Amino acid sequence: MGMRLAVKMRLAVNAGHGRRAASAAARSLALLLSLHGCPKRMNQLSSIPELLRSRVEHACQILQAHLADWSQAQWNEALRVWAGSSFVREWCVRHPQQLAAMLRDEVPDLPQTPDVNVFDAALRDYRNQRMVRIAWQEISAQVSPKQTVTALSRLADECLSRVVDWHRVALQARHGQPRLRDGRVAQFCVIGLGKLGGCELNFSSDVDVIFAYSGAGETDGDKALSNEQYFVRLGQRIVRSLEQRSDNGFVFRVDLRLRPFGERSPIAHSQGNLEEYYEAHGREWERYAWIKARPVAGDLELAQDLIAALQPFVYRRYLDFGAIDSLRDMKGQIDAQVRKRGHEQDIKLGWGGIREVEFIVQVFQLVRGGAEPSLRSSSLMQAMRAITKLGLYPAEQIKALREAYWFLRRVENCWQAQHDQQTHVLPNNEEPRLALACALGYSGWAALDAELQQQRAIVHAQFAALFAEPENDVISAQWQPWWDQQQEDVPCDWVGEQFQELRDKAHKRLSTEACQRLGELLAWLSVQFHDAATASRVLQVVEVLIGRGNYVSLLHDNPVARRQLINLCQRSPWLAQQMRQFPMVLSELLDPIRLYAPDERAVLAERLHDHLANLPVDDVEARMDVLRRMRNATMLRIAAADVSAALPIMRVSDRLSELAEEILRAGLEQVELQLRQRYPELVKPEFAVVAYGKLGGLELGYTSDLDLVFVYDGEQHGLPLDPPVFFTRLARKLIHFLATPTGAGVAYEIDTRLRPSGRSGLLVTSLQGLASYQKDQAWTWEHQALIRARVVAGSARLAEGFATLRQEVLALPRERAELLKEVQDMREKMRVSLAPADGSFHPKHSPGGIVDIEFLTQFAVLAYAREYPDIARFTDVIRILEGLQAAELIAAPDAESLADAYRQLRAHVHQSFLGGLDQPAPALLELAGQTALRVARLQQSLL
């Protein structure tokens, strides 16, 4: 074998390749001779592309003694890594004794030394060994790209923490402990932004950080410094230890340019100064930067407090559609720089690159983060999951985006790991391209480049669609002169006076840019109207948006939202009024699929919990607003589904009732939380909310009050006050929480007149007291009301107790003829007081209307529940009719006819309310007449 190789090498030299070729041939001969008798190793070396073999030959020769016991798999792994990264290969050559420890992930502890030079050198050795280990695992595909960026971020955290601790001790020894003016120790922290903050650091990234400290004061040593001087010096020493280059390289480059006022300001800022700066001077790009804020070193509690304090700056309280324009402009500036530098192959900033993925995700965070707490994450992947869970973006597109992102991140890391250099522009030369392909496991550059182009195209297509310029960016020629107040005649056939008023208000109150956008919006809307009523409703909505640029941007930039606005205003004056009263619900128009598919109960409950969990405990008003905003948005979606017939009438009532129940439950939890703040030792209150009327009967309407009765366990112990006093306070707080008007309206109006003894009775009643009242003092109409009563929030034990009590009361013995007379007398009183005086038809109160059917079922339950307990199980009319049919108290045709009439009458009520229709169809009048006769007949048959 050796003779054959020697002949080949001699022939190469004699062929005239010169000294360099002879030298290379000699090295190859020496290597191959050293591997004589190891054909496996020779075959493994030949598996490396020929252009790259010289990269690894020298390493193999030096390290072969240290790798004598390696397996074939280990050799394959090492050769691929050395071919892909000169940084790793050269470290291995320089530190052969540490190679085995590096591969086993054994890292020596940093020395405890007072010498900064010794500390810095040890930290660089530590960093390099860790980086080599991370690069080795990445190139050999032992880990996922996510594991790589996490490991890099944790390494940066650790190095920052070690450096902060070392220099803090050293500085305190010279100047003493920094103290606030009240004597407390002043703390220092490092907040990571960018990739570090997102725990997504790349292989050779800067670390973007903010240095912050508690506040003003001075140190308590002999050589005293002000806190600002002290912490600026501390920051300077930290930066020097991390990025100053030596024979051992550096640790991390530190970028402090994201601090307030950039390079013109001190490198460390007090917490108060930071908060004041972002409140007064914070810019849009800084909001983008602080999305990824994360505590990384120093006093982590101080860092977390600061990040929490800046959340209102980063995430607007309401939807912020102006962020789309800001990010669009920011990306335009980046693209201009990329083109200027000729860096179109920049996989971070170029087309379809990493930054486009980040912008797609972060636009949802900036626009909706104030309203959707789950979006407030420094992690890109967590934000993607929240976007998917909230249904804001198609799940399959998020999946494609995630896969493209991790592919690009792996390419980025392997490219930077070649020389431990910060670069995102892919190579043009053949050798580094081949090395990158080899590191990533591709047969050559062509195969890798094909995959790159495909993944970048996926990203850019989504980015271009999301950030496309709006369709109506120029006002039509016929509109422009009028909008610029150069002519008076409105170029539109619809509601000219309203257009005139809108134009005049806009020019008085808006900036030139905002006024132009509103004009473009109106120009587009004007050609879509088909009737004056719709035009008037839409313009009333638009009018309240003057001065609310976010919502003008929403409609201006989103044709889908504009079309839905017109559609809903055309179908329902009530929906138009809701959008006018609560503009925040306009965000629901962005996704038609979600708009017409209201959240299921479990999703609604989870969203309520997520929203409330991210608010400060003492911010009661913000918590009240959450319930109101969720109620308004969900009710809009239910109504949209209703007017479009996407939900049948019974499901509409179910959804409205479920919404009210979840708002009640969340409200009760918030009130109990408030009480627990005041009484930390408070045990779980045995308290329940009983719904009567429409909510109790699962028949809630859009504007229904909630008829509620509050019950408690009169025998509960361990309360801070007497039970009646304590539970009265709890009930009043709950009513206040739900019914007090805020900027978002009220959650629900609360009616408590159905409690024992009505308005003259106590606001809360013990379950024991309620039982006594219902059995001994209640009127027949109160027993009728009890049929539609059920516990909707609070103690499960009390709910069970109330259900038992309800069943017992409904099953009390009654004389049927007397009962029927009392029910009929009550029905007549209601008809006289509530039916239209002119004799026109009312779907609820006229003969054959909803109330007739309800009173018939209530009479039947009170008359027969003792003999047939099952008919009293349910609180809604339809299931009570089914129970009466099952008990053979009502014949099947009668039960079915009444149920059908009930549904049609209630559908008419909903349609009249939403659509503004007053006159019933002749068929409905005929149905009501038949129902009145059937009810009268069935009352007599049930005696």
- pLDDT tens for each residue of 77-120: 888 898 899 999 999 999 988 888 898 888 778 888 999 999 99
| Residues 695 and 707 sit within 8 Å (Cβ to Cβ) | yes
Note the pLDDT of residue 806. 97
What CA–CA distance (Å, rounded) separates 291 from 362? 8
* Residue 3 clears pLDDT 50, i.e. is over it: no
Q: Do the Cβ atoms of 845 and 834 come closer than 8 Å?
A: yes
Lowest mean pLDDT among 20-29, 78-87, 313-322: 20-29
Among 424, 458, 448, CA closest to 346: 424
Whether the Cβ atoms of residue 239 and residue 211 lie closer than 8 Å to each other? no
Q: What is the pLDDT of residues 877-897, one digit of tens each?
A: 999 999 999 999 999 999 999
State in Å, rounded, how far the first CA of the chain is from the last one: 114
pLDDT in tens, 757-774: 888 889 999 999 999 999
The strand pairing partners of 791, in sequence order, are 690
Q: What confidence tens digit (pLDDT) does each residue in 520-571 have?
A: 888 888 878 778 888 899 999 999 998 888 888 888 888 888 889 999 999 9
* Mean pLDDT along residues 281-287: 87
How many C-beta atoms surround the C-beta of residue 327 within 10 A? 23
In order of 109, 450, 667, the CA distances from 53 in angstroms are: 36, 25, 70
415 pLDDT above the threshold of 90: yes
Residue 64 is predicted with a pLDDT of 76
Name the more confident of 611 and 212. 212
Q: Are 856 and 884 in contact (CB under 8 A)?
A: no
pLDDT at 497: 78
Q: What per-residue confidence (pLDDT) applies to 477?
A: 67
473-482, 751-760, 915-924: the lowest-pLDDT one: 473-482
Would you call 456 exposed, middle or buried from its count of C-beta atoms within 10 A (0-12, 13-18, 19+)? buried
Residue 338's pLDDT band, with cuts at 50, 70 and 90, is: low
**Span 184-206, mean pLDDT?**
94
Q: State the Cα–Cα distance between residues 394 and 109, nearest whole angstrom.
A: 48
Is the model's pLDDT at 339 over the cut of 80? no
Predicted local confidence at residue 493, as pLDDT: 64
pLDDT at 29: 38
Taking the C-alpha atoms of residue 240 and residue 634, their distance in angstroms, rounded to an integer, is: 55
Query: Are β-strands 790-794 and 687-692 bridged in parallel, bridged antiparallel, or unpaired?
Result: antiparallel
Split at pLDDT 50, 70, 90, the class of 322 is low
The predicted pLDDT at position 781 comes to: 95
Angle subtended by helix axes 549-557 and 322-341, to nearest 10: 60
The yes-or-no verdict on residue 134 having pLDDT over 50 is yes
Q: Which two tokens stand for residue 423?
A: 């670069």
> How would residue 129 be classed by pLDDT, with cut points 50, 70 and 90?
very high
Query: How confident is the model at residue 2, as a pLDDT?
Result: 38
Assign 857 a pLDDT band (cuts: 50, 70, 90): very high
pLDDT bucket at 13, cuts 50 / 70 / 90: very low
| Residue 20 banded pLDDT, cuts 50, 70, 90 | very low
Residue 39: which pLDDT band, with cuts at 50, 70 and 90?
Answer: very low
Number of helices followed by number of strands (H, E) in the chain: 42, 12
State the pLDDT at residue 624. Answer: 94
Does residue 332 carry a pLDDT above 80? no
What pLDDT does residue 495 have? 62
pLDDT of the residue at 498:
82
Confidence of residue 482 (pLDDT cuts 50, 70, 90): confident
Residue type present at position 893: P
Residue reference for tokens 């989103």: 558
When the pLDDT of each residue in the chain is averaged and rounded to a whole number, the result is 87
| Backbone CA torsion sign across 667, 673, 678, 680 | positive
Q: How large is the average pLDDT for residues 351-371?
A: 88
Share of residues in the chain with pLDDT > 70 (%): 92
- What mean pLDDT comes out for the span 713-741? 93
Average pLDDT over residues 616-637: 91
| Highest mean pLDDT: which range of 549-553, 612-616, 806-810 | 806-810
pLDDT the model gives residue 16: 37
**pLDDT band at residue 33 under the 50/70/90 scheme:** very low
Rg (CA), the chain: 37
Identify the weakest region by mean pLDDT among 170-184, 590-604, 726-740, 816-830: 590-604
Range in 131-145, 212-226, 516-530, 555-569 with the lowest mean pLDDT: 516-530
Closest CA to 238 of 223, 225, 220, 251: 251
As a whole-number percent, the residues of the chain with pLDDT over 90 amount to 58
CA distance 285 to 791: 50
pLDDT value of residue 858: 97
